[in-house]
Amino acid sequence: MRGSRLALAVGVTFVVAAGAAAGASGPAPIPIWQRLLLAGEYRGFTPQADPPQVGTPAVSAKETQNFFDALKLPAVTAEFRKDGVVRGISEDLSGPDKRRGGLAFVIQSSSSAGAARVVSYIDRASLLPCAHSCTVSAFELKVPGIPGALGTKRIRTQADGPKPDQRPFEINFVFFANGPFAYGMVSSAPPNSIDRGQLFAAAKRWYQRVKDSPPVPQ
């Protein structure tokens, strides 16, 4: 688990050593926890200090349904079962001020096709209307520099009411699959204040780091 700087250093040493042993055979395996966004990849955003926990398929389905409340848990569970989901992990990201935040997640499937289906499913979920009546609009985004990547923008420009979850906001999503892994990052901020160029650059750095690296044998 990536919690302390020492644990991170040990993990990096492991991957470097494995890469040296792999030689010309291809990229070294990367543990799922190290596939999350690392500090410095999304500039201005800091990964959580507490070690993220690797979750079962059931936990991954529940967290996905909690985030996208228009989804129903039995449907998410069935989809993840069909897609061969075996584990998942996520981390919170602290932004440069209290109005900005984010999230990164990795879901491992049993196949590349399964990971691609997970990305497609979660992308569609990010475009769904609210579970209840609201003034949120959703739009597709074109994500450059990452093959097959998908993106979404959700925005509410005027408050629906006095409650915190009725305030104006904007959320941008980037999703991509590589090998048996589905990746996603989320950036939230007040309306029209997300630096999308910075978001896409972070996603590209992330993709380039994990690209074609196989899972660690279990």
* Lookup: tokens for 190: 């007040």
> Read out DSSP for 174-188?
EEEEETTEEEEEEEE
**Residue ranges making up the domain that contains 103:** 32-210
Residue 26 lies in a domain: no
112's enclosing H/E stretch is helix 112-126
Flag whether 25 is in a domain.
Answer: no
181 assigned to some structural domain: yes
Residue 189 lies in a domain: yes
Work out the average pLDDT over 69-87.
Answer: 97
Q: Classify burial at 185, counting beta carbons within 10 Å of its beta carbon; exposed 0-12, middle 13-18, buried 19 or more.
A: buried
Q: Is 12 inside any structural domain? A: no
**What pLDDT was estimated at residue 160?**
83
Is pLDDT above 60 for 9? no
Model pLDDT for residues 136-145, shown as the tens digit of each residue: 999 999 999 9
Reported pTM: 0.87
pLDDT tens-digit map of 149-190: 999 999 999 988 888 878 999 999 999 999 999 999 999 999
CATH number, domain at 197? 3.40.1000.70
For residue 17, is it within any domain?
no
Identity of residue 188: S
Taking each helix axis from N to C terminus, what angle separates 112-126 and 73-82, rounded to the nearest 10 degrees? 160
Nearest by Cα to 61 from 84, 92, 38: 84
pLDDT score for 10: 33
Asked if residue 71 belongs to a domain, the reply is yes
Average pLDDT score over the chain: 89
Q: Which of 80, 195, 211 is nearest to 147 (CA)?
A: 211
**Cα(83)–Cα(167) distance, rounded to whole angstroms?**
35
Q: In this structure, are residues 28 and 213 in contact, taking their beta carbons and an 8 Å threshold?
A: yes
Asked if residue 164 belongs to a domain, the reply is yes
Q: How many domains does one find in the chain?
A: 1
**pLDDT value at 14 more than 70:** no
Residues 115 and 87: beta-carbon distance below 8 Å: no
